[in-house]
Amino acid sequence: MKILVATKNKGKAKEFQSMFENLGVEILSLNYIEGSPDVEETGVTFEENAILKAETISNQMNIPVIADDSGLEINALEGRPGVYSARYAGIHKSDEDNMKKVLEELQDVEDNNRDAQFVCALAFARPQKETLVVKGECKGQILREKRGSEGFGYDPIFFLPQLNRSMAELAKEEKNKISHRAIALEKLKKLINEEDLLWEKP
């Protein structure tokens, strides 16, 4: 079976591929589809943007589609960068630029006030069916400098106290057990299972 994930983010696509591997599901991302449009993320919540991305592509292609809208919420910054995580330092800026901006903004913030969470909303849109939406979170703290080289995005500056490592110091199998994305995906799988059970009733 193949599932389309409506993302152009290669880091995300890899993680979905890895999380679906044991189920024998192949993940395709929008990078495989020529001329697929950038869906504008006009929502103000992760859920809204995930629904927007999933439903737009599902309607266009008439197939089931999963979309992921995710980001980093930092308590000392009142939840920023939040839904603007991908474009925090500007539209054409890189993960490096985004991390640099966060580290600069937190320069004078004490160690005990650097709590943050990664958030992931997943939407599963299908032709003629209601869209399923779930959310997962992963709590940690913002480091003062980058650590590790795995993962993507803000992983190098995100510290997991219980593991005493940054997210970028985890092997992908480890990250894919505890991440906001993994937690959301578990919830989505449960919802799909429950739905199937409902349909099977006489």
Q: Is 86 in the site for ligand Y43 (CB under 6 A)?
A: yes
Pick the closer one to ligand Y43 by CB: 110 or 173. 173
Q: Coil, helix or strand for 134?
A: strand
* Strand order through the sheet with 132-142: 26-29, 2-5, 65-74, 115-125, 132-142, 158-160, 165-166
Among 4, 151, 160, 166, binds ligand Y43 (CB under 6 A): 151
Residue with tokens 């940690």: 140
| E runs forming strands in 59-171 | 65-74, 115-125, 132-142, 158-160, 165-166
Q: Is 48 in the site for Mg ion (CB under 5 A)?
A: no
Q: Is 86 in the site for Mg ion (CB under 5 A)?
A: yes
69 part of the active site: yes
Shortest distance in whole angstroms from residue 86 CB to Mg ion? 5
Query: Of ligand Y43, Mg ion, none, which one sits near residue 12, judging by CB under 5 to 8 A according to partner kind?
Result: ligand Y43
Q: Find out whether 69 is annotated in a ligand binding site.
A: yes
Q: Is 61 in the site for Mg ion (CB under 5 A)?
A: no
Pick the closer one to ligand Y43 by CB: 63 or 195. 63
Q: Find out whether 114 is annotated in a ligand binding site.
A: no
Q: Is 70 in the site for ligand Y43 (CB under 6 A)?
A: yes
Q: Is 73 in the site for ligand Y43 (CB under 6 A)?
A: no
> Given phi > 0 = left and psi -120 to 50 = alpha, else beta, which region is 195?
alpha
- Long-range contacts, stretch 104-108, CB < 8 angstroms, 24+ apart: 105/77, 106/74, 106/76, 106/77, 106/142, 106/144
Residue with tokens 């997991």: 160
Q: Is 178 in the site for Mg ion (CB under 5 A)?
A: no
Residues that bind Mg ion (CB under 5 A): 86
The residues annotated as belonging to the active site are 69
Binding site for ligand Y43 (CB under 6 A): 7-9, 12, 41, 68-72, 85-86, 98, 118, 151-155, 167, 179, 181
